[in-house]
Amino acid sequence: MFANLTSSMFVLGDYTSSDYAWFPENASTFATDNDWLFAVISIVCVLFFVPIAGALFYFAYKYQKPKGTPAESNTAHNTPLELAWSIGPSFFLVGMFIFGAKAYLDHRTVPDGANDIGLQAFSWGWTFNYGGGMYNPELHILLDEPTKLSMRSTDVIHSVFVPAFRAKKDVVPGRYNYMWFKPTVASEKVSDEVLQQAIDATEAAGGSWDFDRWQFTQDGYRFFDLFCTEYCGKNHSNMQTVVVVHETLEDLNAWIDQYSKRDPKMDPAKYGQTLYENRGCKGCHSLDGSKVVGPSFNQSYGNQRPFADGSGLVADENYLRESILYPKAKIVAGYKPVMPSYKGQLSDDDVYSLVEFLKTVSMYNKDAADENSAGVDPEDQGDEEEKAEAPAE
């Protein structure tokens, strides 16, 4: 009982210092249904629990007798009483079931005309497909508009969970699963100065964007957490992204335009680094030589690659391109053929940018590699690219 008390005091202490107590922010239409139902069930539980615990401790105190004292009563049963407490609670259960199932059906049926966003889950990241060749690891949606996610996994089971929306669905390989929600709270945007400070600090530190530290995205939006809730291996707990709710369609479109392709003035290698961080390369390929799931990129371009079938070659642009679009064509010895294909998900310019990025991070004998690729005619490369041109999904 005391433990109950102390921990509830911790909870209370937390309550006063935080914006929320039992739930994260209520930010979707589901949240209202869910929180109301949760509260009703909890009240019913308390109504049962308090008398039960009260009777338990009261009886233990009241009927404590010296050894050898016979019991005051030895009633063996009381059928009406037993029937009452067998059947009585059932009414509460039926109520919970009906309200729960009804809300569940409402939350499951995708309304007509919902905005459809594709979701690909992989170990350990997310790629949202906004159509028109725009892929991004962040989920950006429109306020007060139902959004449907068509979800597939390219490796193991994952699960999408947005606590602020009270929505969750597994992403199962070998089938499509769908979920939808209608956000009711827009993400605020922080002031430009605050954003600039954060960007400067991040660049000074040289690391990647720290969402936990800043609590807004690189574009300055506050966000809701999106977690993976189905255990999926080593970096399961890092498989998180953000949900940003835009107030207007113009705002959302502006964001999409900004990320849909490389600004022609931008250095391809730099854009390749963004793709490396955003599109899931980073989860499996390190830059420092350590083995994660796939080979490290610091031994990619210009290095001798031994393959599982015994053959091998020096990694050149075409090999890298093939590995991105047809990852199972050549498997590096010591690794498993688990990488999903990026065919159709990366534009030609994206692949080019990635290869340029790989050249900057790979450690190799540059002179030797230059000699090696000296024979490659730029025209030839152009043909290859056309051949590999993949239809958009």
Site for other proteins in 86-105 (CB under 8 A): 86, 89-90, 93-94, 96-97, 99-105
Contact 110, 148 (CB under 8 A): yes
Choices 233-241, 242-250, 296-304, 347-355; region in contact with other proteins by CB under 8 A:
233-241
Q: Does 210 sit near other proteins (CB under 8 A)?
A: no
Q: Does 209 sit near other proteins (CB under 8 A)?
A: no
Per-residue interface string for the shown chain with other proteins, residues 171-200, x marking contact by CB under 8 A: -xxxx-x-----------------------
Contact 321, 357 (CB under 8 A): no
Q: Does 32 sit near other proteins (CB under 8 A)?
A: no
Minimum Å gap between C-beta 135 and other proteins is 22
Closest Cα partner for 117 from 34, 31, 32, 226? 226
Closest Cα partner for 338 from 176, 175, 170, 154? 154
Looking at the DSSP assignment, which residues form a beta bridge with residue 227? 161, 240
Contact 312, 305 (CB under 8 A): yes
Question: Which residues in the 236-275 window bind other proteins by CB under 8 A?
Answer: 236-238, 240
Between helix 378-388 and helix 317-325 the angle, nearest 10°, is 10
Q: Which two tokens stand for residue 115?
A: 């905005």
Q: Does 73 sit near other proteins (CB under 8 A)?
A: yes
Minimum Å gap between C-beta 294 and other proteins is 14
Instruction: Tell the burial category of 85 from Cβ atoms under 10 Å away from its Cβ (0-12, 13-18, 19+).
Output: exposed
Q: Does 333 sit near other proteins (CB under 8 A)?
A: no
Q: Which is nearer to other proteins, 79 or 250 (CB)?
A: 79
Minimum Å gap between C-beta 263 and other proteins is 32
Among residues 55, 333, 368, 376, the one that binds other proteins under rule CB under 8 A? 55
Give the torsion sign (CA, 258, 259, 260, 264).
positive
Question: Which residues in the 349-388 window bind other proteins by CB under 8 A?
Answer: none
Q: Which is nearer to other proteins, 9 or 266 (CB)?
A: 9
Among residues 34, 127, 136, 345, the one that binds other proteins under rule CB under 8 A? 34
Minimum Å gap between C-beta 322 and other proteins is 21
Q: For residue 15, how many other CB atoms are within 10 A of its CB?
A: 13
Per-residue interface string for the shown chain with other proteins, residues 283-322, x marking contact by CB under 8 A: -------x--------------------------------
> Alpha helices, DSSP H only, in 79-156?
79-108
Minimum Å gap between C-beta 351 and other proteins is 25
CB-based contacts of 122, cutoff 8 Å, min separation 6? 153, 154, 155, 158, 280, 283, 340
Minimum Å gap between C-beta 84 and other proteins is 9
Contact 259, 280 (CB under 8 A): no
Tell me the number of residues near other proteins by CB under 8 A: 104
- Cα Rg of the chain (Å, integer): 28
Choices 191-199, 225-233, 242-250, 367-375; region in contact with other proteins by CB under 8 A:
225-233
Minimum Å gap between C-beta 327 and other proteins is 14
Q: Which is nearer to other proteins, 212 or 263 (CB)?
A: 212
Q: Which is nearer to other proteins, 74 or 191 (CB)?
A: 74
Q: Does 63 sit near other proteins (CB under 8 A)?
A: yes
Q: Which is nearer to other proteins, 43 or 313 (CB)?
A: 43
Minimum Å gap between C-beta 268 and other proteins is 29
CA 48 from chain centre, in angstroms, equals 38
Range 122-156 burial, b when 16+ CB lie within 10 A, else e: bbbbbbbbbeeebbbbbbbbbbebbbbbbbbbbbb
Among residues 33, 138, 350, 356, the one that binds other proteins under rule CB under 8 A? 33
Question: Which residues in the 144-173 window bind other proteins by CB under 8 A?
Answer: 155-157, 159, 161, 163-164, 166-170, 172-173
Q: Does 138 sit near other proteins (CB under 8 A)?
A: no
Q: Apex CA 314: angle with CA 311 and CA 320, to 5°? A: 100
Residue 162 and residue 179: Cα distance in Å, rounded?
11
Q: Does 212 sit near other proteins (CB under 8 A)?
A: yes
